[in-house]
Amino acid sequence: MWFLTVLYALLFYIATAILVVGTGHRIYLFIRAPAPLKIPTTPAPTTRVGVVGRMFQEVVFFKSLFRATKWTWLFGWLFHFALLLVVLRHLRYFTEPVWGWVALIQPFGIYAGFAMLVGLGGLWARRVLVDRVRYITAPSDHLMLALLVGIAGTGLLMKYVSHTDIVALKAFVLGLLYFDWHPLPADPLLLLHLLLVVVLMLVFPFSKLIHAPGMFFAPTRYQVDNPRERRHLADWAARLESQGR
């Protein structure tokens, strides 16, 4: 029991460090990437406020994906929205006392587990059945989908088939947060669920999943369409110009 507790505690600390530092580093690279040209995807907003509004519609409703492919939008949006609910539902393992609104969304969170699987199933089927998508699909695309299906699958199995000791698990999770370790229940499904979560945290910064924060750093999305009103000058170009070169 203690062996597993120490092993998983260390795994979670290492995975958290790599997730935070790795994602931070990727964001730093996104910020540093030169954007020498004005390339907002038109029709694009002509003001900053407009850009914020457009970004909001992208992030919350996946608007451009909706315009592009209805099926991908349907399954993609379903998966992401369900994932959000599932993650919010999980906050009950990390907080004591559990916040009121987290208690309130618990029932929806359970349905979200199934919705997440349906969304992932649709996205995976698309990679196998649609010729032009299959052609550009790499093994890592399948791996990411398998990982997420594995996490959702083991979670639902725990919920409906073979329960784990939630109270003991919560003590373990809070123990990690407050550096006061408590034993981790040694149920195979829970151990697998958590191991897959650790793998997800480890691969996140290095995989396509980084598109989540990356979305906010795409020039095609964050740029204001005002090239006639204001001259666009990248930082490095402005520096060269000020040196008279």
List contacts with ligand HEM (CB under 6 A). 83, 86, 89-90, 93, 109-110, 113, 116, 148, 151-152, 155-156, 158-159, 163-164, 166, 169, 173, 193-194, 197
Name which of 23 and 164 has its Cβ closer to ligand HEM: 164
Phi (first) and psi of residue 172, to 5 degrees: -65, -45
Least distance to ligand HEM from the beta carbon of 181, Å?
14
Measured from each CB, the residue nearest to ligand HEM is 155
Distance CA 31, CA 218 (A): 10
Least distance to ligand HEM from the beta carbon of 198, Å?
8
Distance CA 122, CA 126 (A): 6
Least distance to ligand HEM from the beta carbon of 128, Å?
22
DSSP 228: T
Q: Which residue has the tokens 């092993």?
A: 7
Name which of 130 and 149 has its Cβ closer to ligand HEM: 149
Q: How far apart are the first and last CA of the chain?
A: 67
Least distance to ligand HEM from the beta carbon of 209, Å?
10
**Cβ count within 10 A of residue 21:** 11
Least distance to ligand HEM from the beta carbon of 160, Å?
8
Name which of 62 and 79 has its Cβ closer to ligand HEM: 79
Q: How far is CA 181 from CA 162, 189, 195, 196, 204, in A?
A: 25, 21, 18, 21, 26
Tokens of 87: 């993650």
Tokens of 185: 């229940």
Distance CA 51, CA 44 (A): 8
Least distance to ligand HEM from the beta carbon of 83, Å?
6
Planar angle of CA 164, 187, 18, nearest 5 degrees = 100
Name which of 54 and 89 has its Cβ closer to ligand HEM: 89
Name which of 58 and 165 has its Cβ closer to ligand HEM: 165
Distance CA 242, CA 9 (A): 53
Name which of 58 and 187 has its Cβ closer to ligand HEM: 187
